[in-house]
Chain A
């Protein structure tokens, strides 16, 4: 007897939201994570324990637009679509180019990467640095939440079953900042990060005006500390060795990676701190 699978693919977002309000469903955007997570043996469909709702064809979830200073990115934009969109900042595009490979970038979505909430999620460190907010919609209306409040742990997000993440909002595109994203993995393409790092720095008259950094794959969620960042505001560039060492040891205390099949805790911590020190030791910073 073939197992019955219920799946929905509505033409409009409002119909999709009504269905989600009636029933707890698994939402599939690109499917690049969920199809692997529930993978079965060859020839057997993945076993997904809930009814399915497909959303990646919904045009309402693919808009990119500027509203005042905020950049709104539709949650179902694929990485390739973002690479081709003139509104997406260069720093974000440079990071996207290092993610996966062309075939996955044609399928994987920004919203999917966030909702999958992998500690190693490639887009997450930069989105934390951008102070990204998420717009969630349900039949009851809209709700806005910061990305750091939304992601609560590995594969755990603060989403009610009747909601869809419809937009990712960047309150500022950091156009005056030098923004970096570094990812360490076994292979350039298609690898899951052992460690990742994102940083941004804005300099005004040789002094640090704004500085942010975030680490991926070194804890259950992305590690960022606004308190540590604040210690560097107002300092002169290039930073002196003592300041860099102090920031390194502050992060040494809060970065707690684990051993797993991809890497070891010791390697992850060492490399994460090296990436931080490298970023802080640069002699010059240029807006991207």
Chain B
């Protein structure tokens, strides 16, 4: 039995230790905001926070997260930071098909909490592990820049 914290709640599972955190989140806990893209750590669609650090849930065997604090997109949706990001992505037109967006939002939040006033290069570096096949990234970069300004003092 593996026990950990998921979006603030203590949970446990008897899934095998090698099961991917991604599958556990989607299939057992029905948190389907976290997406599977490549399944190899190259696209960032499955990004979550593990002890407040951005990680790819497709690469995490659940046996390694016993006792850890996991947050998914569903876990941050009520925060002020999320509201600012949500608004900024809408204004900048950063969302098209939307598949990469939960991962992009997690990467954006991770970046801003470490660096509340990132330069354009730092924004691009912050989301470099997240692929988006619709926007060409410029609108997403703009959204993060906008969120940094609107959320000044929040991060």
- Chain A residues proximal to chain B, CB less than 8 Å: 2-3, 5, 7, 9, 28, 30-32, 35-36, 38-39, 42-46, 48, 52, 54, 56-57, 80, 100-104, 106-107, 188-190
The one of B20, B39, B44, B61 that contacts A103, using a Cβ cutoff of 8 Å? B44
Max count, chain B CB within 10 A of own CB: residue among A5, A39, A56, A102:
A102
Cβ–Cβ contact A42 & B39, under 8 A: yes
User: Could you tell me the distance between the alpha carbons of A43 and B128 in the complex, rounded to whole angstroms?
Assistant: 26
Given contacts A43-B23, A46-B20, A107-B55, contact A102 B63 (CB under 8 A): no
B129 within 8 A of A: yes
The one of A31, A44, A188 that contacts B61, using a Cβ cutoff of 8 Å? A31
- A-B residue pairs, 3 tightest by C-beta: A101-B129, A7-B17, A189-B128
> Nearest chain A CB to B22's CB is how many angstroms away?
9
Interchain Cβ contacts under 8 Å between A and B, 28 examples: A5-B16, A7-B61, A9-B66, A28-B61, A30-B59, A31-B60, A32-B41, A32-B56, A36-B59, A42-B36, A43-B27, A45-B16, A45-B23, A46-B18, A48-B18, A52-B17, A100-B41, A101-B44, A102-B54, A102-B110, A102-B111, A102-B129, A103-B44, A103-B56, A103-B129, A104-B41, A106-B55, A107-B50
User: Could you tell me the distance between the alpha carbons of A39 and B59 in the complex, rounded to whole angstroms?
Assistant: 9
Closest to B40 in A: A36
User: Could you tell me the distance between the alpha carbons of A3 and B17 in the complex, rounded to whole angstroms?
Assistant: 12
| Chain A residues whose CB sits within 8 angstroms of the CB of B17 once the complex forms | 5, 7, 9, 52, 54
Chain B interface, >50% SS class: mixed
B11 within 8 A of A: no
| Chain B residues whose CB sits within 8 angstroms of the CB of A3 once the complex forms | 16
| Chain B residues whose CB sits within 8 angstroms of the CB of A42 once the complex forms | 23, 36, 39
Cβ–Cβ contact B129 & A45, under 8 A: no
B58 within 8 A of A: yes
Chain A interface, >50% SS class: loop
Closest to A46 in B: B18
| Chain A residues whose CB sits within 8 angstroms of the CB of B105 once the complex forms | none
Cβ–Cβ contact A39 & B40, under 8 A: yes
Cβ–Cβ contact B59 & A32, under 8 A: yes
Cβ–Cβ contact A190 & B64, under 8 A: no
Max count, chain B CB within 10 A of own CB: residue among A5, A100, A190:
A190
Cβ–Cβ contact B126 & A102, under 8 A: yes
| Chain B residues whose CB sits within 8 angstroms of the CB of A32 once the complex forms | 41, 56, 59
B91 within 8 A of A: no
B60-74 to A contact mask, C-beta < 8 Å, 1/0: 110110100000000
| Chain A residues whose CB sits within 8 angstroms of the CB of B53 once the complex forms | 80, 106
Given contacts A35-B58, A39-B40, contact A52 B18 (CB under 8 A): yes
| Chain A residues whose CB sits within 8 angstroms of the CB of B56 once the complex forms | 32, 103-104, 107
User: Could you tell me the distance between the alpha carbons of A107 and B61 in the complex, rounded to whole angstroms?
Assistant: 12
B71-96 to A contact mask, C-beta < 8 Å, 1/0: 00000000000000000000000000
Closest to B51 in A: A106
User: Could you tell me the distance between the alpha carbons of A102 and B104 in the complex, rounded to whole angstroms?
Assistant: 12
Cβ–Cβ contact B36 & A54, under 8 A: no
Given contacts A102-B128, A103-B107, A104-B129, contact A28 B41 (CB under 8 A): no
Cβ–Cβ contact A7 & B63, under 8 A: yes
B108-137 to A contact mask, C-beta < 8 Å, 1/0: 001100000000000001101110000000
| Chain A residues whose CB sits within 8 angstroms of the CB of B125 once the complex forms | 102
> Nearest chain B CB to A39's CB is how many angstroms away?
6
> Nearest chain A CB to B108's CB is how many angstroms away?
11
Cβ–Cβ contact B129 & A190, under 8 A: yes
The one of B16, B64, B111 that contacts A31, using a Cβ cutoff of 8 Å? B64
